[in-house]
């Protein structure tokens, strides 16, 4: 499985806001276990989708010079459920960006319905950092694989 | 009118409640960030971000919370204790902290007790006084 929890970017206003779409389908294995007979998209994966949208927004502001790591989620609230067939739109707004990292405010909506909102903080890690080698690749918000969502649908 | 210590504490309290998810009554001048309020390393960065925003200040990296003071190669730690040079360095780099208390019992694990709510308030008082004078 590829750890890509957004399907496509809809909008990227550099340094301001990004929007991405995620279509939920019964082809996703975990929905058969979460829960049997009652498929609901796990909140943790919505958070991941918001982090990927917000992480690319922050990374792009610095021309992807830094490795962006999800550092902390100071706030997250889930308002309702997402089920197969739903189209989730993640909107991330950059509220703080600096050398050490940055913060985004995100929402997840299905149509007019607000599903979740979160504040997510990222830290930057540079390859020169002595702790660089110790970091698990999975912590990275973007890799070249994830970046492909920005090109989906482009010729 | 300059902010009083109480004004600053009120804003610091809000900042810490947002950053650490603690209740307002848990945040007193004496509370330690790690021991009492459960802060982890990444929270220090978050706290600095929020203080800058809430107080409209710039806090250069390492000024409020100096980094790598207790690392093995800092030369300031020997046999699990902060050396005399280490204490002197802390006094220089953290004039806002109660280094006397650490000097009395310089075990490495006591370094984190320097990081109290009162230390942040004192740091901001100094910082705000400086920017008002400038």
Nearest CA in chain A to B19: A74
Q: How many angstroms separate the CA of residue A100 from the nearest CA in chain B? A: 8
The answer to whether residue B74 scores a pLDDT higher than 90 is no
Instruction: Enumerate the H helices of chain B as residue ranges.
Output: 5-20, 41-55, 84-93, 99-104, 117-133
Q: What would the pLDDT profile of A12-34 be if each residue is shown by its tens digit?
A: 999 999 999 999 999 999 999 99
Is ipTM over 0.90?
no
> Catalytic annotation on A79?
no
What's the sign of the alpha-carbon dihedral B58, A75, B39, B97? positive
Structure-model confidence comparison of residues A38 and B74, the more confident one: A38
B61 interface with A at CB cutoff 8 Å: yes
Identify the structural domains of chain B with CATH numbers, from first to last.
Answer: 1-65+115-134 (1.10.1200.10), 70-114 (no CATH)
The residues spanned by each domain of chain A are 8-27+35-143
Q: What would the pLDDT profile of A68-83 be if each residue is shown by its tens digit?
A: 989 999 999 999 999 9
Cis peptide bond prior to A35, omega within 30° of 0: yes
Nearest by CB to residue B18, choosing from A74, A98, A100, is A74
Q: State the pLDDT at residue B7.
A: 94
CATH superfamily of A8-27+35-143: Hotdog Thioesterase (3.10.129.10)
Q: How many angstroms separate the CA of residue B21 from the nearest CA in chain A? A: 8
């Amino acid at each position: 499985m590829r750890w890509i929890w957004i399907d496509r970017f809809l909008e990227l206003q550099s340094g301001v806001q990004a929007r991405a779409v995620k279509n939920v389908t019964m082809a996703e294995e975990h929905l058969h276990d979460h829960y049997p007979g009652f498929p609901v998209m796990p909140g943790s994966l919505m958070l991941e989708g918001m982090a990927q949208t917000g992480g690319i927004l922050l990374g792009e502001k610095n021309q992807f010079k830094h490795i962006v790591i999800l550092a902390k989620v100071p706030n997250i609230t889930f308002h309702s459920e997402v089920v197969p067939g739903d189209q989730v739109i993640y909107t991330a707004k950059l509220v703080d960006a600096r050398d050490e990292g940055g913060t985004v405010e995100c929402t997840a909506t299905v149509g007019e319905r607000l599903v979740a909102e979160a504040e997510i903080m990222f830290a930057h890690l540079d390859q020169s950092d002595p702790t660089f080698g110790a970091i698990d690749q999975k912590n990275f918000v973007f890799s070249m694989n994830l970046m492909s969502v920005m090109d989906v649908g482009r010729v | 009118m300059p902010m009083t210590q109480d004004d600053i504490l009120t804003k610091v309290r809000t900042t810490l409640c947002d950053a650490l998810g603690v209740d307002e009554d848990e945040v007193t001048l004496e509370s330690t960030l790690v021991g009492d309020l459960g802060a982890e390393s990444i929270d220090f960065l978050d706290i600095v971000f929020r203080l800058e925003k809430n107080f409209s200040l710039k806090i250069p990296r390492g000024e409020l919370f100096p980094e790598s003071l207790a690392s093995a190669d800092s030369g300031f730690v020997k046999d699990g204790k902060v050396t005399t040079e280490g204490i002197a360095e802390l006094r220089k780099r953290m004039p806002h902290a109660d280094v006397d208390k650490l000097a009395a019992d310089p075990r490495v694990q006591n370094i984190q007790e320097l990081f109290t709510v009162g230390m942040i308030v004192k740091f901001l008082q100094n910082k705000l006084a400086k920017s008002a004078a400038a």
